[in-house]
């Protein structure tokens, strides 16, 4: 057991879905493993059909004697984890003096800006001549089980198919979102050609002027939720490319699915889109998506919002109201100028290197 725990705790940014294979006596391991932060879920695969109630642990997902049933539960849990695992940062409206200088930035303000600056550098950086081929080589090294799909990507990819490839259920979505969640700059740099294409396709695609509000329902860990709840009026940044719907009922269905979940809050993001804001990157992707899903609206990575209110509705779901902001937001502009004093104004590889030094990477 000690060797297993040591191996698991060596992971810094990964989440483990742990299957314990053995007898019903192995349930005694669950209370020992449950507190380990790197473990997301625990499953017990038994040789005998023995029922015993051990479901009072947050991360325990159940006993299984059938491998197919376990595989299906595991698939659904990983899919839900991938959907919910947004990297979100927020700061209060009182944190910034609009005349401040870089030397006065606190750690929270600087951390809030890191992902936004990484995005700006990646989408503005000039593409190297062989960058696409280097990215494909990276995909082959990281995704040994998807060579057929990678071959298809190499043969058919073009910048106007970036949204199509991102929404397809394959390695691109998984690798990119993992890198965004953990701010894995090495992987993000390898995927720079795709990130640039995806961002610019979203930015250049038309969003109907009739779309003013979109929704997203999900679970959020309670400690993270209350951190953001204390920042009403402040800025909120979502690092991921964010999928939303114009249909409120779709958002509510996702939120309702997470009601009464231990250590989580069921929330409904209600996002107001001010289309007069400068340099916003959001698009209705119905005609570009792999699934051609109706009512799906996609925000580019590191979109920034102003938190309007967070109110618990009568149905028990938290209504998380935010407004999409643009470059004209005074607080965001002040933070950006402060960070540019440190790393410089040009979005180049050298600027990225200076930012990594600032981040202590």
Contacts of 3 (CB under 8 A, 6+ apart): none
Which region among 29-38, 59-68, 201-210 has the lowest average model confidence (pLDDT)? 201-210
- Residue entry with tokens 């959001």: 282
**Nearest of 17, 12, 51 to residue 33 by alpha carbon:** 17
In CATH terms, 87-359 corresponds, of 3.40.50.300, 3.40.50.450, 3.30.450.20, 3.90.176.10, to: 3.90.176.10
**Nearest of 107, 80, 116, 87 to residue 13 by alpha carbon:** 87
| pLDDT score, position 96 | 55
pLDDT at residue 102 greater than cutoff 70: no
- Residue entry with tokens 């005349």: 99
| pLDDT score, position 9 | 87
pTM: 0.86
Share of the chain above pLDDT 90, in %: 49
Output 237 or 4, whichever has higher pLDDT: 237
> Is 265 in a helix, a strand, or coil?
strand
CA distance 323 to 317: 19
Which region among 85-89, 103-107, 191-195 has the lowest average model confidence (pLDDT)? 103-107
Residue 24: pLDDT band with limits 50, 70, 90: low
Residue 137 has, within 13 A of its CA and on its CB side, a CA count of 6
User: What residue ranges in the chain does DSSP mark as E strands?
Assistant: 16-22, 39-46, 60-64, 88-91, 213-221, 235-238, 242-245, 264-272, 282-284, 296-299, 303-312, 318-324
Q: Tell me the per-residue pLDDT of 242-294, one tens digit each, with 9 for 90 and over.
A: 999 999 999 999 999 888 887 889 999 999 998 776 677 899 998 899 987 77
Question: Are the beta carbons of 52 and 24 closer than 8 angstroms?
Answer: yes
| pLDDT score, position 173 | 92
- Residue entry with tokens 């719907």: 245
Which region among 53-67, 219-233, 236-250 has the lowest average model confidence (pLDDT)? 53-67
Question: Are the beta carbons of 339 and 117 closer than 8 angstroms?
Answer: yes
**Nearest of 141, 123, 240 to residue 193 by alpha carbon:** 123
What's the 3-state SS for 7-59?
HHHCCCCCCEEEEEEECHHHHHHHHHHCCCCCEEEEEEEECCCCCCCCCCCCC
What's the angle, vertex CA 358, arms to CA 346 and CA 333, rounded to 5? Answer: 55
| pLDDT score, position 167 | 94
CA distance 319 to 266: 9
| pLDDT score, position 105 | 67
The domains of the chain are located at: 1-84, 87-359
Facing residues of 190 across strands? none
| pLDDT score, position 188 | 96
Q: Tell me the per-residue pLDDT of 164-213, one tens digit each, with 9 for 90 and over.
A: 999 998 999 989 998 998 899 999 999 999 999 999 999 988 677 778 89
Q: Tell me the per-residue pLDDT of 139-154, one tens digit each, with 9 for 90 and over.
A: 999 888 899 999 999 9
Question: Distance from CA of residue 51 to its chain's centroid?
Answer: 37
What would the mean pLDDT of 287-306 be, rounded to a whole number? Answer: 90
**Nearest of 95, 126, 119, 99 to residue 302 by alpha carbon:** 119
3-state helix, strand, coil in the chain (%, to 5): 45, 20, 35
pLDDT at residue 25 greater than cutoff 90: no
**Nearest of 63, 19, 15 to residue 221 by alpha carbon:** 15
């Amino acid at each position: 057991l000690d060797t297993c725990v040591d191996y698991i705790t060596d992971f810094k940014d990964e989440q483990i879905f742990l299957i314990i294979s053995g007898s019903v006596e192995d349930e005694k391991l669950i209370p020992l493993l449950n507190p380990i932060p790197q473990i997301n879920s625990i499953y017990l695969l038994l040789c005998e059909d023995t029922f015993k109630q051990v479901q009072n642990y947050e991360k325990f997902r159940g006993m299984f004697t059938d491998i197919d049933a376990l595989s299906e539960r595991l698939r659904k849990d990983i899919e839900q984890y991938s959907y919910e695992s947004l990297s979100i940062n927020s700061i209060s409206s009182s944190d910034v003096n609009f005349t401040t200088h870089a030397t006065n930035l606190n750690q929270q303000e600087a951390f809030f800006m890191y992902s936004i600056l990484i995005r700006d550098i990646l989408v503005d950086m000039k593409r190297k001549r062989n960058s696409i081929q280097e990215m494909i080589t990276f995909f082959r090294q990281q995704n040994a089980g998807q060579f057929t799909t990678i071959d298809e990507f190499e043969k058919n990819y073009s910048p106007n198919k970036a949204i199509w490839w991102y929404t397809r259920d394959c390695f691109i979505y998984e690798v990119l979102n993992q890198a965004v969640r953990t701010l894995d700059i090495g992987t993000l740099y390898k995927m720079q050609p795709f990130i640039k294409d995806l961002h610019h396709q979203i930015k250049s695609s038309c969003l109907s002027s009739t779309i003013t509000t979109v929704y997203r329902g999900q679970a959020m860990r309670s400690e993270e939720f209350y951190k953001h709840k204390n920042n009403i009026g402040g800025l909120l940044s979502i690092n991921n490319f964010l999928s939303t719907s114009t249909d409120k009922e779709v958002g509510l269905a996702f939120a309702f699915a997470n009601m009464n979940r231990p250590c989580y809050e069921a929330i409904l993001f209600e996002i107001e889109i001010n289309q007069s804001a400068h340099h916003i990157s959001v698009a209705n992707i119905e005609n570009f998506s792999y699934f051609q899903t109706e009512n799906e609206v996609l925000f580019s990575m590191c979109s920034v919002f102003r938190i309007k209110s967070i109110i618990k509705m009568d149905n028990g779901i938290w209504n998380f109201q935010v407004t999409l902001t643009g470059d004209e937001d005074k607080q965001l502009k002040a933070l950006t100028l402060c960070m540019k004093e440190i790393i410089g104004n040009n979005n180049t590889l050298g600027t990225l290197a200076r930012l990594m030094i600032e981040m202590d990477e």
